Amino acid sequence: MDNFSNHFSFNLVNKKEKEKDRICTQELDKMVLHTSSLPHIALVVTDANIKNNIVTSISYMYIANHSLTKTVYHAAFVTSMEAELFTIRCGINQACIKENMSKVIVVTNSIHTAKKIFNSKSHPFQFHTVAILSELQGFFNSSHDNSIEFWECPSRLKWRFYKDIDKDSKLFYPTSAYPCKISWDYCKKTDSDNIINQWKMMFQASDGKGKQFLDLLDNDFNTIKLAYTKGRPWL
C-alpha cells in the first residue's frame, strides 16, 4: 500500500447532503459515458443480496467493444460484508486478467467494505483482502499508469446501472433441498455424527478389538459411549 498509494482512490457520497444525490447520479452517468468508449478501462458494478439465508453475489463488467460479463455466485453461512467483499474480489479478478487494461473502476453500494481491502489492521476477512491486494500488486507492477477507482453508489440514488444489478440479484430464489438443515447447529451435529461413525468403523476393524485394552464401562457399570467436543473425540 505504501508503494502504490497513488494507484487507488475512493469517490464517496456525502451522506449528510442528500439534496446532492442528483449531482452524484449525474457524476456516475458522466463517468460511464467517458469510459464507455475507452477499451482500456473496465467498469465493474457489484451487489449482494441475502434471501432465505443464502447470499446471491453478482458482478457486472463493462468494457468497450466487448459483451457484458456477468458473474453470479451463491453461498450460505456468510455475512453480508463477506459477500460484498467476495463480489468485489471476483470483479477485480475478472478485470485484471483482461489484456491491455490500465484502469479498473468498481462501483459498489458498500464502500466501507471496499475500504477494508486497504486496511492493514487485523479483521475477519483478510483472506479476501490479501487475495485482492495480491491481484492488484501484479496489476500495478505491469505498468506505472495502471490504477483502480472505487465509486460509492448508495441504493437510495437508484442509479440505473446499480438498479439493474440489484434487481437481477433479487430475481434469484435459491432454496435448500432441506430447509430445516441449513442451520449451523445442524451442520455441527452432522459433522460430529460423521466423526463418531467413522471412529466406530475403525474400531470394529481394529486388531485390538476384543483384547480389552480399554475399560468400556464406567464406575456404575454403564457402557461408555464416544462423544465429540472441541474438535476431538473422547470417551
- In this prediction the pTM is 0.70
- Please write the tens of the pLDDT for every residue from 124-158: 778 888 999 999 999 999 999 999 999 999 888 88
Q: Is 188 helix (H, G, I), strand (E, B) or coil?
A: helix
Q: Which residue has the cell 458498500?
A: 110
Dist CA 235 CA 178 (whole Å):
32
Range list for CATH 3.30.420.10 in the chain: 8-179
End-to-end CA distance of the chain: 51
Q: 186 falls in which pLDDT band (50, 70, 90)?
A: low
- Please write the tens of the pLDDT for every residue from 9-32: 999 876 666 667 888 888 999 999
Asked if 213 and 177 touch (Cβ cutoff 8 Å), the reply is no
The length of the chain in residues reads 235
Asked if 82 and 48 touch (Cβ cutoff 8 Å), the reply is no
CATH of domain 8-179: 3.30.420.10
Dist CA 209 CA 126 (whole Å):
47
